[in-house]
Amino acid sequence: MAGDLSPGFLGRSVPRVEDARLLRGAGRFADDIALPGMLHAAFVRSPVAHALLRSVDLSNARALPGVRAVLTYADLRPQLRCDRIPLALPSAMLRFDVDPFCLAQRELCYAGEPIALVAAESRRVAEDAARLVELDFEALPAVVDARQGLQSGAPKARLDCPDNLVAQTVLEYGDSEGAFAAGSIRVTERFRIHKGGGHSIEPRGVVARFDAVEDMLTVWDGTQMPHRAKAVLVASLGLAEHQVRVIAPDVGGGFGPKAVFHPEELAVPAAAMLLQVPVKWIEDRLESFTATVGERVQEWEMEAAADREGRLLAIRGRLYHDHGACTPYGVALSYNSATNLVGPYVLPAYHLEIQVGLTNLVPAAPTRGAGRPQGTFVMERLLDGIALQLGIERDEIRRRNLIAPAQMPYATPIVTRDGKAMTYDSGDYPECQRRALAAAKWSEFSGRQAAARSEGRWLGIGMANYVEGTGRGPFESAAVRVEPSGEIRVTTGATAQGQGTKTMLAQLVGGVLGVPLEKIHIVDGDTAASPLGLGAYASRQAVTAGNAVVIAARLVAEKARKAAAAMLEVAPEDLDLADGCVRVKGIPGLKRSLADLARALQGTPGYALPGDLEPGLAAASDFQPGAIAYTNGTHVVEAEVDIHTGAVRLDRYVVVHDCGRMINPMMVEGQVLGGVVHGIGATLFEWMRYDESGQPLCGTYADYVLPTADVVPRIEIHHMESPSPLNPLGIKGAAESGTIGAASAIASAIEDALKPLGVRITDLPVTPARLFALIRAAEQRRDSR
């Protein structure tokens, strides 16, 4: 179906059109925006995880020279239509919604929750003043562990909620009980997964200006979802749609947390309206740690049953999910964890009880992988456990359970939110695994392992398979217009945070219209440019916006052919598009440029349009993917464990990745590579810690360890291309996938290295001290035998 795309444009690693500007420092990020008279905001934040605010003394802060205003909830409330920020997403699982306040009203529910906004002539003065605000509060017991918070007698994380059980459901199909009764192999494990973050290099930022002349609120917001931000602002501030424009300027990384509407995104515009001056707030790194959403805290009590050949019969158990202090983004995380557990395998029966608990921690919301890495970790660990019990190889047990290509499209027994079967559209999972094992020389590893062991070095190899649902709908919009100057202007609801979205879209439009990329101007992330749009989440923009621009560009090409046919007096079939022109095939020189056609279709006073066509050389499309397109991959990694210290070094990493047809393989590799590194971080390094009272213990990158170049191994990426039948281009998303398999593969490699000791990895992150404790315990077990 993609036959009219010039081969020079699809599947080619063209350089990113964004880079020249960004690399020369000409990017325009939120903090680069300076408006006349603009004030700088700093937030007074809750110093404790749970308390009741008795009073706030603002007098010293307000008296500081350079301070224009210090605002509390009571000051902003008259600007607002509702008490809380209306963020609730529909979910049958949720027992009640917990929408956040833009500034805490009375109850403080996590350390870092904003209480007051200081607006001053500089950020420095605003921070000076924030320190002068005196809070009088009554401390309340904090819930820092979701599971403990669900036990009877536990304190309430929020006094304004009936209890801590914010959501629960049972995901089940098949006869688990019967399967466990019949199964000959049973593996039981408890898994505990920790909290991490997105950690984009650019923190969040909001600049808001209310123009009284135009009666118009403009908000520059480093968000992944400007249209949602606009909808929330319209509902919260009581403005009409035409009075609110949200622009996502250049954004330095999103990774999920910037998809969530945070309290500051309302407090800053409300303050700008109240004060009638522009207000800027740029999050600092300490605020990223305490006030930006993150995720991954889960505890799973799981059991798997298999037959003697290692074929899965059933998995059952419980999932406890930490949801933090409110529900700004529904229950996507625990749902994704639960459904992604199934992965690329045939699982006949499944019974999972999910309990989602409120805690006094910053809210949990999607962060690269969005719950999927946890589910995959559990499944892959259980498979390794079965393989160990049965004494079969880890690759073999997976081979026996993988869905065969002949079964595609494969309808899992899981029924999704929209009532349909969760269906894998395409892919060849056994071949993906085969290629990864071959590239990593899996079968030769045992020889190297044995040689290393004789030198006292403990090497291991691990693997994992996974799937990722990508390209989530309901739609993305795009419009393509050829301007009379010859510029191609593309507007879209898609929003870029550095992924190369502009390049991806320009490459597609250029391919359809036969124009060079530099002629194409992409306007993304601006609600004024595109009335409808959804933005960046769920690895979706290539699938949704990519197909939308192609459909729109094809309509433009068709119209250009018709106009040129009328002007050149030839049949449209005799025309093709190349080099910015519509040409008569086989007659060089007989052509009309797209600019000429756009000028003709813009109309001349008193004259008819060519070919009786409608005015304008433009078209729009809102592409609605019918279903989720499933990307899949296999990771293989080699690790060396220092058994004297518990340190883990990764030596080599192989990924075979299948995201359907690739638009720009270089950018796909960038996405996969970044995802794998994020996964390595979450497995071995990153750990957002809190003490028992809910105080964050990480506030800088000295405490929260990101993987740097010296600890990231060579990562080798190979591609398979199983086209998705669900969209005209046959593409699937690639943005989060790299993260999903990493923890499982690394844990498997560590276990393999320590196989003589029988160490099992069930908790993340695997820190040196934790691993050393496991090694020590295993040695003691061995010695006492």
Partner 1 sequence: MKPAPFAYHRPETLAEALDLLARLPNARILAGGQSLMPMLNLRMATPDHLIDLGRVSELSGISETAAGLSIGAMTTQRAIERSPLARAGCPLLLEALAHVGHQATRNRGTIGGSLCHLDPAAELPVAACALEATLTIAGRSGKRSIRFDEFPAGYLTPRLAPGEILTRVDLPRREQGSGWAFEEFSLRAADFAVVAVAALLALGADRRVRRASIAIGGLGAAPVRLAAAESLLVGHPCDAERVADAARAAAELRADGDEVYPAEYRRHLAGVLTRRALERALARGRKGV
**Residues interacting with partner 1, by CB under 8 A?**
123-124, 127-128, 131, 284-286, 644-647, 685, 687, 689, 697, 699-700, 702, 705, 707-708, 710-711, 767-769, 772-773
We find the least distance from the C-beta atom of residue 381 to partner 1, in angstroms, to be 23
Q: How are beta strands 216-221 and 244-247 bridged, if at all? A: parallel
We find the least distance from the C-beta atom of residue 614 to partner 1, in angstroms, to be 55
Three-state SS for 398? helix
Between 42 and 48, name the residue whose CB sits nearer to partner 1: 42
Between 22 and 706, name the residue whose CB sits nearer to partner 1: 706
Give the residue ranges of DSSP H helices in 240-284: 264-275
Cis-peptide into 474, omega within 30 deg: yes
We find the least distance from the C-beta atom of residue 690 to partner 1, in angstroms, to be 10
Exposure pattern of 542-559 as b/e (b: 16+ CB <10 Å)? bbbbbbbbbbbbbbbbeb
We find the least distance from the C-beta atom of residue 549 to partner 1, in angstroms, to be 40
Between 203 and 317, name the residue whose CB sits nearer to partner 1: 203
Between 688 and 715, name the residue whose CB sits nearer to partner 1: 688
For 564, the token pair is 């040129």
- Distance in angstroms (rounded) separating the CA atoms of residues 285 and 704: 11
Annotate 102-157 with DSSP letters as a single string: SS--SEE-STT-EEEEEEESSHHHHHHHHHH-EEEEEE------HHHHTSTTPPPS
Locate the DSSP E strands across 450-573. Answer: 458-470, 476-482, 488-492, 520-524
Annotate 665-694 with DSSP letters as a single string: HHHHHHHHHHHHHHHHIIIII----B-TTS
Cα–Cα distances (Å) from 759 to 299, 365, 437, 465, in that order, read 20, 32, 23, 22
We find the least distance from the C-beta atom of residue 458 to partner 1, in angstroms, to be 15
Between 240 and 702, name the residue whose CB sits nearer to partner 1: 702
We find the least distance from the C-beta atom of residue 646 to partner 1, in angstroms, to be 8
Between 707 and 741, name the residue whose CB sits nearer to partner 1: 707
We find the least distance from the C-beta atom of residue 555 to partner 1, in angstroms, to be 50
Between 290 and 507, name the residue whose CB sits nearer to partner 1: 290
| Cα angle, residue 58 at apex, residues 56 and 61 outer, rounded to 5° | 140
Between 129 and 365, name the residue whose CB sits nearer to partner 1: 129
Neighbours of 652 (CB within 10 A): 17
Between 288 and 492, name the residue whose CB sits nearer to partner 1: 288
CA-based nearest residue to 259, from 499, 94, 493, 495: 495
For 706, the token pair is 């990101």
Question: Torsion angle of alpha carbons 46, 48, 53, 54, nearest 10°?
Answer: -120
| Cα angle, residue 650 at apex, residues 644 and 654 outer, rounded to 5° | 155
Sign of CA dihedral 719, 721, 726, 728: positive
We find the least distance from the C-beta atom of residue 557 to partner 1, in angstroms, to be 51
We find the least distance from the C-beta atom of residue 645 to partner 1, in angstroms, to be 6
Between 180 and 687, name the residue whose CB sits nearer to partner 1: 687
Cis-peptide into 328, omega within 30 deg: no
- Distance in angstroms (rounded) separating the CA atoms of residues 409 and 427: 8
Question: Torsion angle of alpha carbons 250, 233, 54, 123, nearest 10°?
Answer: 30
- Distance in angstroms (rounded) separating the CA atoms of residues 690 and 670: 32
Between 39 and 512, name the residue whose CB sits nearer to partner 1: 39
Classify residue 623 by its DSSP letter: E
Contact 58, 136 (CB under 8 A): no
Neighbours of 531 (CB within 10 A): 13
Between 557 and 775, name the residue whose CB sits nearer to partner 1: 775
Sign of CA dihedral 45, 47, 50, 55: negative
Distance between alpha carbon 661 and the CA centroid of its chain, in Å?
A: 21
Q: How are beta strands 488-492 and 520-524 bridged, if at all? A: parallel
Three-state SS for 383? helix
Beta-carbon-side half-sphere exposure of residue 41 (alpha carbons within 13 Å): 34
Between 135 and 496, name the residue whose CB sits nearer to partner 1: 135
Between 29 and 685, name the residue whose CB sits nearer to partner 1: 685
Sign of CA dihedral 562, 564, 567, 570: negative
- Distance in angstroms (rounded) separating the CA atoms of residues 217 and 211: 6
Contact 645, 776 (CB under 8 A): no
Between 49 and 557, name the residue whose CB sits nearer to partner 1: 49
CA-based nearest residue to 16, from 514, 513, 665: 665
CB contact set of 534 (below 8 Å; sequence gap of 6+):
225, 227, 228, 474, 475, 476, 493, 540, 544
Sign of CA dihedral 145, 151, 154, 159: positive
Between 491 and 767, name the residue whose CB sits nearer to partner 1: 767
Give the residue ranges of DSSP H helices in 391-425: 394-401
